[in-house]
Amino acid sequence: MSGFVFPNEMEINWSLLIVLYPYITGLVAGAFIVSALYHVFNRRQLAPVGRLALVTALSFLIVAPMPLLLHLGQPVRGLEIMWTPNPTSAMAGFGYIYSFYMVILLLEIWFIFRSDIVAHARSSRGIARLGYTVLSLGAWDTSPRTLEQDHRLTTVLASIGIPAAAFLHGYVGFIFGAIKANPWWSTPLQPVIFLLSAIVSGMALLMLVYAVTCWRRKEAVDHQCLMSLNKYLWYFLILDVCLEVLEVISKMYEAEEAWPVIYQLLTAYLPVTFFGLQLALGAVVPLVLLTVARRAGSRSGQALTLLSAALILVGVFSMRWNVVIGGQMLSKSLRGFTAYHPPFLGLEGVLPAVVILALPFVILAVVCRIIPPWSQKAAGEEYYSSDVEVSA
């Protein structure tokens, strides 16, 4: 604490867990957009990650409400947001948007993987057979005609999913952007910035997940696919950075009442995470590396692309930190700053945060066992039916 902060601001109210929440939903939105590029916009190069993107989005979506719930003062009352949502609250939408999106995503995954599920049900026995039968909802028909129907529904669902994903994350930005009381948060650009950084981080995540799964399965990374992701990533990243910088510049140029404190916040309290991690390492360097990677050889090109992806993940995390924590460091008295150092243990410490961040990967591994998302070499045939064995 330095300068004067109001007595009720001695401690930060939204801690590390609330940094994780927009970060994780962002990853969901980004991964989903990649799958939509393939399933709706028919970007064939993305076939190798089309299905992987969906199950990745699902794994992270399952975990997304966890940091929120853990952070509540009264976690058991969390469902009240479903029973009596306040229509004037930006946050009240969470329950409904989340549920809606979850249903859409599950349906889309179900239709895409249904023939696989049926194949698994047919080829397995015992508990596994029962499990797959339940998963199939008893719809075992895999005639080309039914599959064609599935396919059409998938496209519809994915098209609904795009605005849902955009909404899910754009509105997280709105939660912050609409707080007039906080000069660092309050800007109409916030939802757009959150959405773009979400897409960027989700793509970066997917690239890494894809690379790791390839490596685990001893398969070559599809170079075309990775480079095409590289290009999309670059486009979204440049937009994202421009808006992030624009936001700060306009605050400065308008010489807002709070600019002196925001300036102090950025230069004295967040210089490393804002200029260092968010802008330099998380944006400028990846922009350069991604460009270089497209011109480099196949091995080094892939390596550079993946390195950029990792940097971007760090950068976007820093961005979330700078918004969520930075905004609360700045006192509403405009005369001081509250310090924040997350504890290691405890409900809101670093350890639970790490566990929460690791959880989606565990879920992803499990999901990949149940319904392997790997496409066969005949990429593009998303409703192929195969007799891939479920490795026990």
Partner 1 sequence: MRLSRRDFLVKGVQLAAGGLVATTVVGKVWPAGTTLAQGKEAPRDWTRVWEEHEWAFVVDTRRCIGCGRCVVACKKENGVPLEAEVTRTWVEQYAVMADGRTEVISPHGGQDGFAETKVTGEMSKAFFVPKLCNQCEKPPCVKVCPVAATYQTGDGVVLVDRERCIGCRYCIQACPYGARFLHPELHVADKCTWCYHRITKGLLPACVQTCPTGARQFGDLKAPDSAVKKILEEQPSNVLKPAMGTEPQVYYLALDRVVI
Partner 2 sequence: MSGPHLKFYHQPWFRAFLLVVAIVIVFFVARDLATPASFGQYGYYRGQNVNDWATREVAFSGGSTTCQACHQDKHEAWAAGPHAGINCESCHGPAAAHPANPGQVRPEVPAGREFCALCHDINVARAKAVQQVDVAQHNPGPDCTTCHNPHRPLPVGMGGKQ
- Residues at the site binding partner 2, with contacts judged by CB under 8 A: 79-80, 82-84, 86-87, 103, 107, 110-111, 114, 137-139, 141, 143, 145-146, 149-150, 153
Of the candidate residues 212, 333, 381, 389, the single one contacting partner 1 (CB under 8 A): 333
Q: Give the footprint of partner 1 on residues 8-27 (CB under 8 A).
A: 8-11, 13-14
Of the candidate residues 41, 96, 215, 235, the single one contacting partner 1 (CB under 8 A): 96
The yes or no reply on residue 320 touching partner 1 (CB under 8 A) is no
Q: What does the angle CA 14 – CA 340 – CA 29 come to, to the nearest 5 degrees?
A: 45
- The alpha helices in the chain, defined as continuous H runs, are 16-39, 47-63, 65-71, 80-83, 93-123, 126-135, 144-177, 190-216, 223-253, 259-264, 285-295, 298-329, 350-370
Closest distance of CB 80 from partner 2, Å: 8
**Cα-Cα end-to-end distance for the chain:** 55
Contact 360, 59 (CB under 8 A): yes
- Which tokens hold the place of 87? 């229509």
CB closer to partner 2, 107 vs 238:
107
Rg (CA), the chain: 22
- SS3 letters across 171-213: HHHHHHHCCCCCCCCCCCCHHHHHHHHHHHHHHHHHHHHHHHH
The site string for partner 1 over 130-169 (x = CB under 8 A, - otherwise) reads: ----------------------------------------
CB closer to partner 1, 107 vs 334:
334
- Which tokens hold the place of 206? 């997917």
CB-based contacts of 157, cutoff 8 Å, min separation 6: 104, 107, 108, 111
CB-based contacts of 285, cutoff 8 Å, min separation 6: 308, 311
Closest distance of CB 33 from partner 2, Å: 23
Give the number of other Cβ atoms within 10 Å of residue 130's Cβ: 12
CB closer to partner 2, 115 vs 230:
115
Of the candidate residues 43, 70, 92, 350, the single one contacting partner 1 (CB under 8 A): 92
The yes or no reply on residue 339 touching partner 1 (CB under 8 A) is no
Interatomic CA distance for residues 338 and 4, integer angstroms? 9
Contact 201, 26 (CB under 8 A): yes
Among partner 2, partner 1, none, residue 90 binds (CB under 5-8 Å by kind): partner 1
Between the CA of residue 332 and those of 159, 174, 180, 249, what are the distances in Å?
A: 42, 19, 11, 21
The site string for partner 1 over 172-211 (x = CB under 8 A, - otherwise) reads: ---x--xxxxx-----------------------------
Closest distance of CB 58 from partner 2, Å: 16
The yes or no reply on residue 342 touching partner 1 (CB under 8 A) is no
Closest distance of CB 342 from partner 1, Å: 16
Closest distance of CB 208 from partner 1, Å: 32
Among 93-101, 127-135, 287-295, 364-372, which window interacts with partner 1 (CB under 8 A)?
93-101
Write out the residues near partner 1 by the rule CB under 8 A. Answer: 4-11, 13-14, 68, 71-75, 77-78, 80-81, 83-94, 96, 175, 178-182, 328, 331-335
